[in-house]
A and B are shown apart, each in its own frame.
Chain A
């Protein structure tokens, strides 16, 4: 009996989680703007797991124990335990779907729908691009443009993952000469400052 209920609960929570994910994903790819956040989906899945877990737990508790109050208590305890187990399981299982879902929605919020549908111009990894914003602007703008131009060519030839790896490598390699140039300048001015300090001490 308990096994059957547990199986039913797993099936119901899985179906509910999949429904939430499927419905939102369908709306995202069809191009209609719709506000869906990760928190909303997680709350929905956890809430459904809790409700099903508590109801099932009360049913099992009342039928398995002699006293009604004791049965309720056992049921609620069982329900909360099941909520913890299945809620966490559902969140973990739907994590991949959630990430792509949230990405889709965020993309729809920030970029024109036509650009996503055509995929004519893939964008480089945003985080890597962000790192280059630490460089001075006169270097950053042409450098970002050049890297994006080359990223486009690498993407077309080797695909998204290799292009992303290539972009990160380029960003990492580009940092060294720039930082080295800064350090050299700092050392130069530091040494000059130190020499002037020594001269000032020697010549009162």
Chain B
């Protein structure tokens, strides 16, 4: 497994998990809310967007513009979606954590389920 491809910071991992959990409603505000709930501290919306931009450059998430509402001053929402590479990165981090904690792996070594 190429560790370089799956290199994830702690904050990136949490943002990816939030995107995965939110599914089709993953845009700035709910993602920030989910991350704040998880970390139990306030997070700047700018931090969320710079992380999402970095993850998009790594190919772990993709984004698409959504609907514009009057409450947003006519600006469109940018929805994020977890890509296969992002899923694999999350799995890789989870496996590494399990190995370090001496817990059994969710997947057999060298293959799928």
Contact = CB atoms under 8 A, between A and B. Distances in A.
A149 B30 CA distance: 12
Interface residues of B, number: 23
B96 interface: no
A146 B71 contact: no
Interface in A136-159: 138-139, 141-150, 152
Contact of B44 (A139, A149, A150, A174): A174
B53 A139 contact: yes
A141 B50 contact: no
Nearest to A148: B73
Given A121-B71, A149-B69, A181-B50, A142 B44 contact: no
B75 A145 contact: yes
B45 A147 contact: yes
Contacts of B49: 139, 142-143, 174, 178
Contacts of A123: 73
A173 B77 contact: no
B44 A177 contact: yes
Nearest to A120: B70
Contacts of A135: 46
A146 B44 contact: no
Contacts, number: 77
A170 B27 CA distance: 17
B46 A142 contact: no
Contact of B72 (A145, A175, A178, A181): A145
A146 B46 contact: no
A103 B49 CA distance: 34
Contacts of A147: 45
A22 B15 CA distance: 54
Given A121-B71, A146-B27, A146-B29, A141 B76 contact: yes
A176 interface: yes
B71 A142 contact: no
B32 to A, nearest CB: 8
B78 interface: yes
Contact of B46 (A149, A150, A175): A175
Given A138-B53, A178-B50, A181-B50, A143 B71 contact: no
A147 B27 CA distance: 12
A146 B70 contact: no
B47 interface: yes
Nearest to A174: B46
Given A138-B53, A142-B28, A149 B45 contact: no
